């Protein structure tokens, strides 16, 4: 099963992907996580990506596409995967379609998590991430057991650099301009499924499981 998560930044793609991972035992490939890992490790890729990310802009397509296509060749992807944060532009989607077509396959489901901008802005204000392991929380919706501390590893919870309110607004603008056109792209391919992002964690998960089937 090959799945793409669509939706604005902060709509919860990563959180819902976690539910799919547990139920269907396929890995998530998150380009945002890959970049953040590279920034942490100080790699060449990380250095190139950081400026764009901190500004709320997209990393150029040529830095993203090969990276993802290579990652999909790995063994753990052979039964399927969830793409979280990729594709984010029409050229990225076309590169993915072409790479999969070459292997005689394609994406099965594109899940679009729908939310209004204002709901996202409100939600992002509460988002926290573990500085050590990258686990995400929400001050109100998904609180850690102890305030400011990661349940999984005991690391400190922080606000991501690009979750500052001004950067969030910028990212939403970039989303509407460059990423939202993917909704029509996948509708045309006949694999688009729209999910109301306001149903709460459980409600959205259930809706997703309904779409993906048992």
Residues that bind Zn ion (CB under 5 A): 130, 132-133, 135, 150, 152-153, 155
Q: Which one of 107, 171, 204, 208 is in contact with ligand ADP (CB under 6 A)?
A: 171
Min separation Cβ 157 and Zn ion, Å: 8
Q: Which range of residues in 5-13, 132-140, 141-149, 191-199 is near ligand ADP by CB under 6 A?
A: 5-13
Nearest CA to 131 out of 104, 154, 110, 109 is that of 154
Per the annotation, the verdict on 36 as an active-site residue is no
**C-alpha distance from residue 212 to each of 58, 97, 116, 117, 201 (Å):** 29, 20, 24, 26, 17
Per the annotation, the verdict on 145 as an active-site residue is no
Q: Does 207 bind ligand ADP (CB under 6 A)?
A: no
**Percent of residues in the chain assigned helix, strand, coil, to nearest 5:** 50, 15, 35
Q: Which one of 15, 28, 31, 205 is in contact with ligand ADP (CB under 6 A)?
A: 31
The three-state secondary structure class of 3 is strand
How many beta carbons lie within 10 A of that of residue 27, not counting itself? 15
Per the annotation, the verdict on 50 as an active-site residue is no
Question: Binding partner of residue 150 among ligand ADP, Zn ion, none, CB under 5 to 8 Å per kind?
Answer: Zn ion
Nearest CA to 13 out of 93, 102, 82 is that of 82
Residue 28 and residue 62: Cα distance in Å, rounded?
21
Question: Binding partner of residue 59 among Zn ion, ligand ADP, none, CB under 5 to 8 Å per kind?
Answer: ligand ADP
Nearest CA to 211 out of 196, 198, 147 is that of 196
Q: Does 52 bind ligand ADP (CB under 6 A)?
A: yes
Min separation Cβ 134 and ligand ADP, Å: 10
Q: Does 53 bind ligand ADP (CB under 6 A)?
A: yes
Nearest CA to 112 out of 187, 54, 50, 169 is that of 187
Are the C-beta atoms of residues 93 and 87 closer than 8 Å to each other? Answer: yes
Per the annotation, the verdict on 127 as an active-site residue is yes
Min separation Cβ 214 and ligand ADP, Å: 28
| Residue number, 10 or 80, with CB nearest to ligand ADP | 10
Residue 102 and residue 108: Cα distance in Å, rounded?
16
By annotation, the residues acting in catalysis are: 13, 88, 127, 160, 171
Binding site for ligand ADP (CB under 6 A): 9-10, 13, 31-32, 35, 52-53, 57-59, 64, 85-86, 88, 92, 162, 171
């Amino acid at each position: 099963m090959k799945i793409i998560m669509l939706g604005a930044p902060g709509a919860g793609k990563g959180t819902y992907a976690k539910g799919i991972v547990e139920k269907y035992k396929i890995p998530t490939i998150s380009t945002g996580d890959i970049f953040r890992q590279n920034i942490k490790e100080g790699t060449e890729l990380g250095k190139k990506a950081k400026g764009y990310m901190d500004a709320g802009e997209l990393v150029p397509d040529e830095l993203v596409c090969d990276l993802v296509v290579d990652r999909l060749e790995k063994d753990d992807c052979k039964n399927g995967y969830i793409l979280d944060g990729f594709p984010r532009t029409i050229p990225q989607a076309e590169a993915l379609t072409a790479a999969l077509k070459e292997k005689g396959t394609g994406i099965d489901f594109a899940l679009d998590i729908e939310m209004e901008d204002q709901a996202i802005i409100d939600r992002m204000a509460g988002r926290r991430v573990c500085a050590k392991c990258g686990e995400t929380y929400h001050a109100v919706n998904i609180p850690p057991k102890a305030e400011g501390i990661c349940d999984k590893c005991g690391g400190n919870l922080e606000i991501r650099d690009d979750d500052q309110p001004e950067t969030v607004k910028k990212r939403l603008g970039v989303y509407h301009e460059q990423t939202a056109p993917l909704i029509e792209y996948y509708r045309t391919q006949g694999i688009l499924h729209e999910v109301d992002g306001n149903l709460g964690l459980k409600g959205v998960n259930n809706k997703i499981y309904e779409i993906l089937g048992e």
